[in-house]
């Protein structure tokens, strides 16, 4: 079960590198008090207008309640 979630997470980053943007499936992270929080990540690649070789990945993590 852990491996399938990890593969889904890595697929999201692979997709952003190939397609330029991605919205991941829901995944959960364990917090330090033993509970879980559900997240969803939206990531996109931003290109610098002055230097086309420079690219940045902007990722926003949404905490789902």
For the domain that residue 17 is a member of, what is the CATH number? 3.30.450.20
Q: In residues, how long is the chain?
A: 65
3-state SS class at 63: strand
pLDDT value for 60: 92
pLDDT value for 13: 73
Please count the CA atoms within 13 angstroms of the CA of 37 that sit on its side-chain side: 10
Q: What domain count does the chain have?
A: 1
Q: Which domain holds residue 10?
A: 2-64
Return averaged pLDDT per consecutive 10 residues of the chain, 65 residues in all.
Answer: 64 80 85 89 87 86 88
């Amino acid at each position: 079960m852990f491996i399938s979630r990890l593969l889904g997470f890595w697929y999201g980053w692979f997709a952003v590198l190939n397609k330029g943007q991605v919205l991941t499936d829901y995944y959960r992270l364990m917090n330090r008090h033993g509970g879980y929080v559900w997240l969803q990540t939206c990531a996109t690649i931003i290109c610098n207008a002055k230097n086309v070789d420079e690219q940045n990945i902007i990722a926003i993590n949404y905490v789902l309640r």
